[in-house]
């Protein structure tokens, strides 16, 4: 029997289209597959490696995440500096700009709902 897999992480939001567009622009640039697919008119899914991000329009969350540090999504990228340049061109909000730490390059973004998104390039 296979070990349970974190098959998806669902982000509840009052504005799923805005959040989908942000993640598409930020993390799937030039993606031939188009990034997110529509699961329902208010739910979108995109695979990022071994798991999916689900963006779900809901009415049981506020417009902004009032406690964003409680959960952080950690995305690994091949070239963090190129990713940061791309993100800067998009005008994203950084909580912590890309910096070199032990282990690699790390930067933390804030998505339009206020969720924290970490970009990581580990040293080989």
Partner 1 sequence: MTGVVPMVADPPVPGTPGGVRRRARLRAITLESGAPDRAAAWYRRALGLADADPLLTAGGVELRFTLGTSDAPYTGEPARIILNFLVDDIRAAEARLVALEAVWVRELERTRWGIIGTVLDLDGNYVQIVEPTPDSPACLQRKEEQP
Mask of contacts with partner 1, 53-92, x by CB under 8 A? xx---x-xxx--xxx-xxxxxxxxxxx--xx-xx--x---
Q: Return the bridge partners of 61, or none.
A: none
Query: Quick one: DSSP state of residue 36?
Result: -
Q: Is 32 helix (H, G, I), strand (E, B) or coil?
A: coil
Distances (CA, A) of 22 to 57, 77, 91: 15, 17, 11
Per CB under 8 A, does 102 bind partner 1? no
Near partner 1 by CB under 8 A: residue from 19, 22, 48, 110: 48
**Residue 39 tokens, joined:** 């699961």
Q: What minimum distance in Å lies between the beta carbon of 100 and partner 1?
A: 19
Residues that bind partner 1 (CB under 8 A): 1-12, 24-25, 27-45, 47-54, 58, 60-62, 65-67, 69-79, 82-83, 85-86, 89, 115, 118-120
């Amino acid at each position: 029997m296979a070990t349970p897999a974190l098959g998806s992480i669902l982000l509840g939001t009052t504005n799923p289209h805005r959040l989908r567009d942000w993640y598409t622009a930020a993390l799937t640039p030039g993606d031939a597959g188009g990034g997110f697919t529509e699961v329902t008119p208010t739910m979108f899914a995109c695979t990022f490696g071994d798991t999916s991000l689900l963006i779900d329009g809901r009415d049981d969350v506020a417009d902004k995440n009032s406690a964003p540090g409680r959960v952080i999504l950690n995305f690994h990228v091949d070239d963090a500096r190129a990713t940061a340049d791309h993100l800067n061109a998009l005008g994203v909000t950084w909580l912590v700009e890309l910096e070199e730490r032990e282990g690699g390059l790390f930067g933390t973004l804030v998505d339009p709902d206020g969720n924290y998104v970490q970009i990581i390039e580990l040293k080989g």
